[in-house]
């Protein structure tokens, strides 16, 4: 069983958990969302700042388990500086990995540290932990785009 456990808690995940990247709420931003995992109480407040079609900042404040915290950290590494279109494609790929029940082989070129979450897909109860901040980011980005188009 330790093999599965070690697959879940990759060193990369524990590193991001202990030293999260881009954490803290920052200005400026066009949209702020608050997402919760109602079954367990994990929470994230996340802000998105877009400039010229590029995700120029993602900042967040969150409480939760190692998986949800590390996932938020990896998210910000992956999407900040990318065009909204590219970032959405990364989002889709991460979501596919998470919902693949362990059958999807991740592409390191696209997901970088995100490939460490492949083991999470085998723990159905933990998939929503990994997706919490990603869903918040998608929601906030959609709202920010709407704000821009007004």
Summarize as ranges the residues that interact with other proteins (CB under 8 A).
1-2, 4-5, 8-9, 14, 39-43, 63-68, 123, 125-126, 129
Query: Between residues 42 and 57, which has the closer beta carbon with respect to other proteins?
Result: 42
CB of 8 to other proteins, least distance (A): 7
Which alpha helices (H) appear in 43-123, and where do they start and end? 66-79, 84-98, 108-111
Query: Between residues 24 and 38, which has the closer beta carbon with respect to other proteins?
Result: 38
The reply to whether omega before 134 is within 30° of 0 (cis) is no
Query: Between residues 18 and 26, which has the closer beta carbon with respect to other proteins?
Result: 18
Query: Between residues 24 and 41, which has the closer beta carbon with respect to other proteins?
Result: 41
CA 68 to chain CA mean position, Å: 8
Record the tokens describing residue 128, joined without a space: 């929503």
The Cα–Cα gap between 111 and 121 comes to: 15
CB of 1 to other proteins, least distance (A): 4
CB of 19 to other proteins, least distance (A): 15
CB of 41 to other proteins, least distance (A): 4
Residue 11: exposed, middle, or buried by beta-carbon count in 10 A (0-12, 13-18, 19+)?
exposed
What does the DSSP 8-state code read for residue 68? H
């Amino acid at each position: 069983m330790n093999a599965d456990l070690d697959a879940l808690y990759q060193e990369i995940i524990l590193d991001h958990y202990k030293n999260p990247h881009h954490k803290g709420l920052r200005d400026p931003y066009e949209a702020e969302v608050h997402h919760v995992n109602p079954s367990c109480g994990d929470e994230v407040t996340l802000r998105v700042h877009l400039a010229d079609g590029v995700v120029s900042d993602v900042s967040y404040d969150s409480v939760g388990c190692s998986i949800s915290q590390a996932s938020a950290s990896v998210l910000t590494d992956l999407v900040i500086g990318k065009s909204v279109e590219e970032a959405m494609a990364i989002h889709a790929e991460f979501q596919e990995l998470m919902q693949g029940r362990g059958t999807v082989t991740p592409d390191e070129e696209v997901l970088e540290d995100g490939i460490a979450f492949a083991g999470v897909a085998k723990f159905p109860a933990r998939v929503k932990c990994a997706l919490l901040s990603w869903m918040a980011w998608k929601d906030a980005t959609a709202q920010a785009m709407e704000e821009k188009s007004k």
